Amino acid sequence: MATSNDKIQFRGGEEKRASQLLSEMRLGGINISELAREGLKEKLREVLSNEERVELHQQYLDGELNEGVAKVLIGDLLEDIEREREAVGKAETLSTEGVFQNK
């Protein structure tokens, strides 16, 4: 089972040299691990289809996907969907009495 301390490794010779060069250029260097985490998160979100996002959100609602993983994969969309659900729920309770349509 995966833990939060598990490493993701890949061969990135040119990327490693580029990040080292940038780190040397900046006073205090750069946080390569943080850049890698954010970059991976961005790319994971980028490759998800809308259908996959909906499926992941449903898995989250069903308790099959933990909140941390859901936030990594669908991020702000998770909060947007929740706000929309609440808005729809409120709209469903509004009275339509006195509302009419012109035909």
pLDDT beyond 60 at 1 = no
pTM listed for this prediction: 0.63
Mean pLDDT of 44-53: 92
Integer Rg of the chain from CA: 22
Closest to 81 in 3D by CA, of 54, 50, 52, 47: 54
pLDDT beyond 80 at 50 = yes
Q: Output the pLDDT for position 100.
A: 66
In angstroms, rounded to a whole number, what is the distance separating the alpha carbons of residues 21 and 24? 5
pLDDT beyond 60 at 53 = yes
Helix, strand, coil share of the chain (percent; to 5): 65, 0, 35
On average, the pLDDT of the chain sits at 84
